[in-house]
Structure 1
């Protein structure tokens, strides 16, 4: 098997994509993980990720994806390093093309054994068809998650002495991933979901020689929904979004979950992000003249703990039905997670959505089973002892563990 070389003219072609896909697939099935660095050498990796990063960093926080009537749109949820299920999805839905737009909703890495292959293949498609492939950021495209759920260790196993370099390049690429998309002016897509309005910074007012702080616009302590204009203004280029402060919108949009009861309030299970009810879904849809919200973020392991929410056995759920439209959770990793401490599996299907003209807000759901049997692989994280469902992660400890990689 020959190594994959970056095209001399820098132009990715469909033939080159086929070679890359075949190589990644064969390595995963036939060779030790460490052989990836031989067949996709560091120079080829560098050229691929630098080219993709430039494209991603130029895109806005919230993409405006216009769709011609001759196009369909495929929406994809969490993939979590299940590379062979991504290939199966492409077989079923078709690959990106001038008449078929793909929008991926984050969580490309962690938990599965082939996060690097999954992410690199999607980056290659982004380079080949930059206006037909859109990659949004998930909560696992962060340093603390990749240090906890295996991606960091996976990269080290596959690239050895060059592992720190490859991991650092991937982290830099994560920073450029957009946070959300508005599709055909009627569908909002983001990994976690909705986000808060930030109170205007306190300003100081001088009165008779005394200085007092004056809060502006919002009642202190009452959470309110944010707007798309606010989303456009946040600084997304940070690896570990803060749990509070001026840039908390990034955390909200990556980590939040819907709830059956009304209101907007902190998310106690995760310790980060928000919970929002159907009243907030209605407010957001109405305010922005939208008809549909599609989010991801919750797999079967998360939903089994939330008795008040529908399970994730079919790969999607309709969580809110309101006057203006619907809220959908979409999960595209079947038979998830790949590694479990228990022999009792969730046996969930994966799902994807197709939107078509004339009404791009009427989702057509497709479900699929996992591409089994999976090639044998070793887990890159301690799945027996690591907390499930991204709950109560010690983010400070995870972040600190990798700080030397930024030097």
Structure 2
């Protein structure tokens, strides 16, 4: 479908296939133009109305969604997309859009790194609104306050839909990140006196996303990996270190979705952190600290086998790791083909699916990898068939990621993410002593996490240079 002239109007009734295709056409046309062209095709009021509709749908969903395909239908599981909108369109061109005979599970990390995360969010939201039971959106670690700040999504939304105190000279004549002004990271450090409402709306919808989906009672889809069992004893200061056993599926279903930014030292949110950040490994057992700061776990084939057996499952599909991550873990299979078989056990298998080809869109090195989706068919829906694809042609674009983090970035993170100017993701300031104390604690955590992330990236760069 070709894009029509003039801006879209939000459907007054329910979304349908036609309105989704019309939105896809307008988003495709806007992606070929300057970022500032998006509101002329998809107005901010349309985006806000759509995101609010989907937020209500997601809020009503449980932490673990049960997907029951109708007889004869297939289920397509897509991995990380990371703002590569044109590759999402390639998936639909090769496999088909959602319909009565084709359900979709999107396994998180819709945004960041690539420069069309907002387009992906809007199109997936429209598909969800059109077919709430036919499209399942699962949360990834990048659907969080921290990652969307550091890896570009917040800056992307600000450039495309505006921020009241972002100076046009800093944004650049074509909506890029201030390349002409020499302030490549000015949007990152922009302090939102009144935040453009589209970003808080997207953030509120993101924190309502379920953590996992179970397809036909046999296949578990989640973003990162299998979580630790919930702590039986914990305080605000520490969590017990001896509980390195995996949770049951019932524990995941009973857990919180994690809030706007899941914290590993929160008793209520640690399970969500593990689901979003954990990784499989080749060594047996369960080890804390898949990422710096005791974030997530590493779990071996024996742990996967026990989890499958104890929960009556036969397949786990997860995302989270692209070719860059696997380069640093030579003991694990390559994911250059868009998927990898990580654990093959007597009770079932665990695969990683990555749907962002030629990753990353910006930065070096580029890995030239294929993308892939897993297609599940009845009756058991536990034997995936992988459809691979090459990267689609991309229009010229500029990155929304900061080129570096400085002390000014950390100060901005403290003020805007945890402090009085950002508040609770609704755009409202944090008023009152209790809110201000919570904001200060969140800012302190954010500063530590940004510093830990910076140190991890430096170690990765050093390893790559050494190789």
What's the secondary structure of 1:201's corresponding residue? coil
Separation in 2, partners of 1:265, 1:84: 37
Q: Using the alignment, how far apart are the partners of 2:125 and 2:322 within structure 1?
A: 24
Q: Is 2:196 the counterpart of 1:179? A: no
Deviations along 1:58-104, one digit per CA (max 9) or x if unpaired, are 00000111122311000000000000000011000100001100000
1:164/1:303 CA distance change after superposition, 3 Å: same
Equivalence for 1:212: none
Distance 1:89 1:96 in 2: 11
- Deviating above 6 A after TM superposition, structure 1's stretches of 4 or more consecutive aligned residues are 394-397
- Pair 1:202–1:339, CA change in 2 (3 A): closer
Aligned-pair distance for 1:202? 6.4
Contact kept, 8 Å, 2:288 with 2:296, in 1: the verdict is: yes
Q: Contact conserved, 1:143 with 1:398, CA < 8 A, in 2?
A: no
1:382 Cα offset (Å): 2.6
Deviations 1:154-209 (A, max 9, x none): 00100113663111111100011000011111001100010011232369xxxxxx
Aligned CA distance change for structure 1 residues 399 and 18 (closer, same or farther; 3 Å): farther
| 1:26 has 2:25 as partner | no
Higher relative contact order (CA 8 A, sep 6+): 1
State the number of aligned residues: 381
Deviation sequence 1:124-176 (CA, Å, 0-9, x none): 00000111000000000001101000001000100113663111111100011
Paired with 1:168 and 1:288, the residues of 2 have a C-alpha distance of 37
Residue 106 of structure 2: which of 88, 97, 104 is its match? 104
Provide the rounded CA distance (Å) in 1 between the counterparts of 2:257 and 2:29: 35
1:3-402 matches, within 5 Å, as 3-8=7-12, 10-29=13-32, 31-161=33-163, 164-201=196-233, 221-246=242-267, 247-271=269-293, 272-340=295-363, 342=364, 344-372=365-393, 374-383=394-403, 385=404, 398=413, 401-402=416-417
Report the CA distance between 1:47 and its aligned residue.
Answer: 1.2
Kept in 2: contact 1:103–1:136 (CA 8 A):
yes
Kindly tell me: are residues 268 and 104 of structure 1, through their superposed partners in 2, closer, same or farther at Cα, counting changes over 3 Å?
closer
Native 8 Å contact 2:229 2:243 kept in 1 = no
Which of the two has greater strand per residue?
Answer: 1
Q: Is the 8 A contact 1:240 1:399 kept in 2?
A: no
* Partner secondary structure for residue 265 of structure 1: strand
Distance 2:71 2:290 in 1: 43
Q: Which residue of 1 aligns with 2:432?
A: none
Change (3 A) 1:270 1:350: farther
TM-score (norm 1): 0.89
Could you tell me which of 6, 10, 13 is aligned with 1:2? Answer: 6
1:395 Cα offset (Å): 9.8
How far apart are the structure 2 equivalents of 1:229 and 1:359?
Answer: 21
> Does the 8 A contact of 1:335 with 1:370 survive in 2?
yes
Contact kept in structure 2, 1:190 and 1:296, CA below 8 Å: yes
Q: Give secondary structure in 1 for the equivalent of 2:422.
A: helix
TM-score (norm 2): 0.78
CA separation of 1:261 and 1:166: change in aligned 2, threshold 3 A = same
The CA distance in 2 between the partners of 1:166 and 1:314, in whole Å, is 35
Residues 111 and 143 in structure 2, CA contact (< 8 A), matched pair in contact too: yes
- The 1:268–1:351 alpha-carbon spacing in structure 2 relative to 1, beyond 3 Å, is closer
What are the ranges of 5 or more consecutive residues in structure 1 without an aligned counterpart? 204-217, 387-393
